[in-house]
Structure 1
Amino acid sequence: MARPLVFITGASSGIGQALAACYYRAGWSLALTARRAGEIQAWAAAERLEPGRYAVYAADVADTASIVAAGQQCLARQGLPQVVIANAGISIGVDTAVREDLDVIARTYATNNVGLAATFHPFVAAMVARGSGTLVGIASVAGMRGLPGHGAYCASKAAVISYCESLRGELRASGVKVVTICPGYVDTPLTRQNRYAMPFLLLPAQFAERAARAIGRGSSYRVIPWQMAIVAALLRWLPNSLFDRLLAGRPRKHRQGE
Structure 2
Amino acid sequence: MTADPRPLVFITGASSGIGQALAARFYEAGWRLALVARRTAEVQAWAATQGYDAARLAVYGADVRDVDAITGAGRACMAAQGLPDVVIANAGISVGMDTAEFADLEVMRATFETNNIGLAATFHPFVRAMCARGSGALVGIASVAGVRGLPGHGAYCASKAAVVSYCESLRGECRPFGVKVVTLAPGYIDTPLTRENRYSMPFLMQPDAFADQAFRAIAAGASYRVIPWQMGVVAKLMRALPNFLFDRLLAGRPRKHRQGENR
TM category, shorter: over 0.9
| Separation of aligned partners in 1, 2:124 and 2:245 | 41
Residue 29 of structure 1: aligned partner: 32
1:54 aligns to 2:57 (yes or no): yes
Residue 9 of structure 2: aligned partner: 6
1:219 aligns to 2:213 (yes or no): no
AA partner of residue 54 (structure 1): L
1:149 aligns to 2:149 (yes or no): no
- Could you give the per-residue CA deviations for residues 196-230 of structure 1, whole angstroms, max 9, x where no partner exists? 00001110000000000000000000000000011
1:253 partner SS: coil
Measured after TM superposition, the shift of residue 48 of structure 1 is: 1.0
| Separation of aligned partners in 1, 2:87 and 2:168 | 16
| Separation of aligned partners in 1, 2:145 and 2:249 | 15
Map residues 144-183 of structure 1 onto 2, 5 A cutoff: 144-183=147-186
| Separation of aligned partners in 1, 2:66 and 2:105 | 18
| Separation of aligned partners in 2, 1:2 and 1:170 | 28
Map residues 59-208 of structure 1 onto 2, 5 A cutoff: 59-208=62-211
User: What RMSD, in angstroms, separates the aligned Cα atoms of the two structures?
Assistant: 0.6
- Could you give the per-residue CA deviations for residues 62-103 of structure 1, whole angstroms, max 9, x where no partner exists? 111110000000000000000000000000000000011000
| Separation of aligned partners in 2, 1:225 and 1:202 | 7
1:173 partner SS: helix
| Separation of aligned partners in 1, 2:210 and 2:253 | 26
| Separation of aligned partners in 2, 1:208 and 1:252 | 28
- Could you give the per-residue CA deviations for residues 125-156 of structure 1, whole angstroms, max 9, x where no partner exists? 11011000000000000000000100000000
1:45 aligns to 2:48 (yes or no): yes
Measured after TM superposition, the shift of residue 9 of structure 1 is: 0.2
- Could you give the per-residue CA deviations for residues 158-193 of structure 1, whole angstroms, max 9, x where no partner exists? 000000000000111100000000000000000001
| Separation of aligned partners in 2, 1:254 and 1:48 | 37
2:116 partner SS: helix
1:185 partner SS: coil
Measured after TM superposition, the shift of residue 38 of structure 1 is: 1.1
AA partner of residue 138 (structure 2): L
Name the count of aligned residue pairs: 258
| Separation of aligned partners in 2, 1:234 and 1:125 | 38
Measured after TM superposition, the shift of residue 254 of structure 1 is: 1.1
AA partner of residue 254 (structure 2): P
Residue 239 of structure 2: aligned partner: 236
| Separation of aligned partners in 2, 1:18 and 1:254 | 26
1:20 pairs with one of 18, 23, 34:
23
| Separation of aligned partners in 2, 1:197 and 1:214 | 27
| Separation of aligned partners in 1, 2:67 and 2:149 | 27
Structure 1 residue ranges, 4+ long, deviating more than 6 angstroms after superposition: none
| Separation of aligned partners in 2, 1:34 and 1:253 | 25
Structure 1: which 5+ residue stretches go unaligned? none
1:172 partner SS: helix
| Separation of aligned partners in 1, 2:41 and 2:14 | 11
What is the percent sequence identity of the aligned residues?
72
| Separation of aligned partners in 2, 1:254 and 1:75 | 39
